[in-house]
Amino acid sequence: MADPTKILLDESEIPTHWYNVVADLPAPPPPPLHPATHEPIGPDDLAPLFPMALIEQEVSAERYIEIPEEVREVYELWRPSPLIRAKRLERLLDTPAKIYFKYEGVSPAGSHKPNTAVPQAYYNAAAGTKRLTTETGAGQWGSALAFAAAQFALECEVWQVAASFTQKPYRGSMIRTWGATIHSSPSDLTEAGRAILAQDPDSPGSLGIAISEAVEVAASSPDAKYALGSVLNHVLLHQTVIGEEALKQLAEVGDSPDLIVGCTGGGSNFAGLAFPFLREKMAGRMDPHVLAVEPAACPTFTKGEYRYDYGDVAGMTPLVKMHTLGHDFVPDPIHAGGLRYHGMSPLLSHMYELGLFEAEALPQSACFDAAVRFARTEGIVPAPEPTHALAAAIREAEACKETGEEKVILTALCGHGHFDMAAYDAWFAGELVDHDYPEDKVREAMARVPEIG
């Protein structure tokens, strides 16, 4: 069919393999170091937290890793996800550019997170794990893991940052609906939690504290393991189903992307879309520009240092070489909670240093302006995180109107905003302010066309 709005794949076309970009890099990423000895860590150091199959994926240099049939069967509930041509948005912008978005909000949890939650639950169940622990902020990752745990009859315990637990109760309702247990963090169930509560009984919590609680329980329980929703290599690996499908879908309509743009927090959504296209680029089969967009309030790539740092606030995790704002950096409380991480995936950080993609930071007011234009034309109300990529995509499409270029722009809409409507209320109430971004600076950021290409 000529010129479709939605490019769908049959479920027999769900990828059979994840793509491991490490196999194609000119140099391997630097190894993680033990927090005490500062020596490279080995698989055994991670064994208390993760099953061996995931540890092997974490350090693998194999180009393709087969997706187990049991995982593909759960993916069938929503995958392949649609690739959608944003025709009505293009019409609003009056642009000759084509804008495509890969929509991951069709998953049960409403984001790309189940792409890795499902295999993580599967490998744990196969290894005899009975219970998964994790932390969650606003609840996107916690709900994805709760859903995945239900598919493999695992118990699941989620520590949610206390402030979110109170203010945004409905992700917790979803977690309970899928049969998982949710605790407000800090909790009195762990030493880490009790220590914080002893100092401050009304602590609002933080992701760092919640991680400590989930890790403590997993490390001290023989039948429990811990699961992480971004940053690590195996998480990025699992997300490559997004890009593999998008490659096929664009090929089906005879298009090749000139620009690929994704938002970055820990990096898994961006990596999932970009890695398969970067494989094609490194092999000389296509030549897209690839752009990561991060919040101006948490500018890891664009203002962070590339050095060894801890993954958590308390300094309990291995040291990883990454772009970091410092493990004690506390970003402004912007609404894109999923992007408020002080560090960046070590693998993506390494690839950024290799010059494989570019990055920029955008203020959230520019992002919500884009979000509303998108919602009023395409219908979908986006989560605050992917609006960063939408803002850059819209700016590029507007630049094409000036130049007359018929660029093909591809972005990842990694989730819907059904549980983020308070952010839209704040936007319409004029209460969304940006760290260090007065109105004229916002206009300036959005007027600037990135010097890519």
Note whether 380 binds its own copies by CB under 8 A: yes
Q: 323 φ, ψ to 5°? A: -75, 125
Note whether 248 binds its own copies by CB under 8 A: no
By the 10 Å C-beta count (0-12 exposed, 13-18 middle, 19+ buried), 279 is classed as buried
- Work out which of 379, 404, 431, 451 binds its own copies, going by CB under 8 A: 379
Contact in structure between 181 and 199 (CB atoms under 8 Å)? no
- Work out which of 282, 354, 421, 447 binds its own copies, going by CB under 8 A: 421
Give min distance, CB of 150 to its own copies, in A. 5
Only segment of 16-24, 121-129, 208-216, 419-427 that touches its own copies (CB under 8 A): 419-427
Note whether 91 binds its own copies by CB under 8 A: no
Given the complex with its own copies, which of 373 and 435 has the nearer CB atom?
A: 373
Note whether 428 binds its own copies by CB under 8 A: yes
CA proximity to 351, closest of 58, 20, 19, 22 = 22
Q: Is the dihedral of CA 146, 148, 151, 157 positive or negative?
A: negative
Note whether 160 binds its own copies by CB under 8 A: no
**Beta-sheet strand order (sheet of 181-185):** 181-185, 155-161, 131-136, 224-226
Given the complex with its own copies, which of 122 and 341 has the nearer CB atom?
A: 122
Given the complex with its own copies, which of 150 and 314 has the nearer CB atom?
A: 150
92-111: which residues touch its own copies (CB under 8 A)? 106-110
E runs forming strands in 41-180: 64-66, 83-85, 98-103, 131-136, 155-161
Give min distance, CB of 17 to its own copies, in A. 20
- Calculate Rg over the CA atoms of the chain: 21
Note whether 8 binds its own copies by CB under 8 A: yes
Give min distance, CB of 352 to its own copies, in A. 34
345-374: which residues touch its own copies (CB under 8 A)? 372
The first and second tokens of residue 386, run together, are: 């992917």
119-148: which residues touch its own copies (CB under 8 A)? 147
- What is the C-alpha to C-alpha distance for residues 116 and 223, in angstroms, rounded to an integer? 21
303-332: which residues touch its own copies (CB under 8 A)? none
Given the complex with its own copies, which of 144 and 215 has the nearer CB atom?
A: 144
Q: 265 φ, ψ to 5°? A: -120, -85
Only segment of 48-56, 289-297, 321-329, 413-421 that touches its own copies (CB under 8 A): 413-421
Q: How many CB atoms lie within 10 A of CB 447?
A: 10
Buried b vs exposed e over 148-184: b needs ≥16 C-beta within 10 Å?
A: bbbbbebbbbbbbbbbbbeebeebbebbeebebebbb
* Cα 255 to Cα 89, 156, 182, 403, distances in angstroms: 18, 42, 44, 20
Note whether 375 binds its own copies by CB under 8 A: yes
Note whether 424 binds its own copies by CB under 8 A: yes
- Work out which of 195, 251, 422, 447 binds its own copies, going by CB under 8 A: 422
51-80: which residues touch its own copies (CB under 8 A)? 76-78
Note whether 151 binds its own copies by CB under 8 A: yes
Note whether 381 binds its own copies by CB under 8 A: yes
Enumerate the β-bridge partners of residue 158.
Answer: 134, 182
The first and second tokens of residue 207, run together, are: 């992701």
Output DSSP code: residue 210.
H
CA proximity to 18, closest of 283, 289, 268, 355 = 268
Note whether 169 binds its own copies by CB under 8 A: yes
- Work out which of 10, 44, 188, 402 binds its own copies, going by CB under 8 A: 10
Query: What residues line the site for its own copies (CB under 8 A)?
Result: 1, 4-6, 8, 10-12, 76-78, 84, 88, 106-110, 147, 150-151, 169-170, 173-174, 176-179, 372, 375-381, 418-419, 421-422, 424-425, 428
